[in-house]
Amino acid sequence: MTTVININREILSPEEANISVFDHGFLFGDSVYEVLITCHGIPFKIKEHLQRMSVSAEEIGLKLPYTYEEFFREINRTIAAGNNRESYIRIVVTRGVGEINIDPSSCLKPNTIIYISEFSGYSEGLYKDGINLVIVSTRRNIKESINPGIKTGNYLNNVLAIMEAKKRGATDGLMLNAEGYLTESTTSNFYLVKDRVIMTPSLECGILGGITRGIVLELARENGIHVEERMIRPEEIREADEAFITSTTRGIMPVTICDDSKVGDGRPGGLTKKLIGLYKNKLEDMISGDL
């Protein structure tokens, strides 16, 4: 496994990589980021990830220091330096070094950090047996506070949620919004299946519009599977036949237990398995045209 880090166009080992303690990304979580992976060595959906990061940066008034072409070049240069079979890629742009107060006007130059490490995926057992979620007490941010639809380094509510979930013996936490409706897990979008209809919280519920979410919903519709994006009550989990989560790193992962109760018959459902197969095929088909 090789991990390399690109800081402002300089490729470094983890031991060499340093960021100032006066960087506002460190001091205040004042940053944006994206996570993606490679498929056959190619950064998957890189344009979509960079477009979303551009929107996130605009939302917090942060001017990205690279053009799309410069991001492409630096990401691929760093992947080559890592020389892994497949790579996990994390791109972070911070507000930069400034005075120790929350006013960002003293931050004159953003810092760009690209992390590359080996990506080997998750255990096959998690896809075969499913995972265990719990509904946590930590609520998802409301849009009027820190919009969940943008990816910033200010992630403390998600940190508290995963801590609670782990303390309760679960794989991950499922978060509600301020009105008590389902949103998403700490790093993944969430879905239920009832009578072969996929139900997932709408963007208006306060979720991140996941790149994988978009692919999965498109796949479902292309294959005649009805999809409902709406507000979902927590009680609907008990009535569901299946559940699953999606993310860039996980793909589609079944959920078989929620709040200590089985989802459906407690095994990954047929529609979830079908989507996993469709998604794998779609990845292969999309790679050649992804850049």
Positions marked active-site: 151
What Å distances lie between residue 150 and 198, 233, 268, 279, 280, CA to CA? 24, 24, 31, 25, 27
Q: Which ranges constitute the DSSP H helices of the chain?
A: 24-28, 46-59, 68-82, 124-129, 156-167, 211-222, 236-239, 270-287
Q: What is the 3-state secondary structure (H, E, C) of 237-279?
A: HHHCCEEEEEECCCEEEEEEEECCEECCCCCCCHHHHHHHHHH
Give the Cβ contact number of residue 35 at 10 Å. 17
Structure tokens at 50: 């960079």
**Helical axes 211-222 vs 46-59, angle rounded to 10°:** 130
- Would you give the DSSP letter of residue 85? S
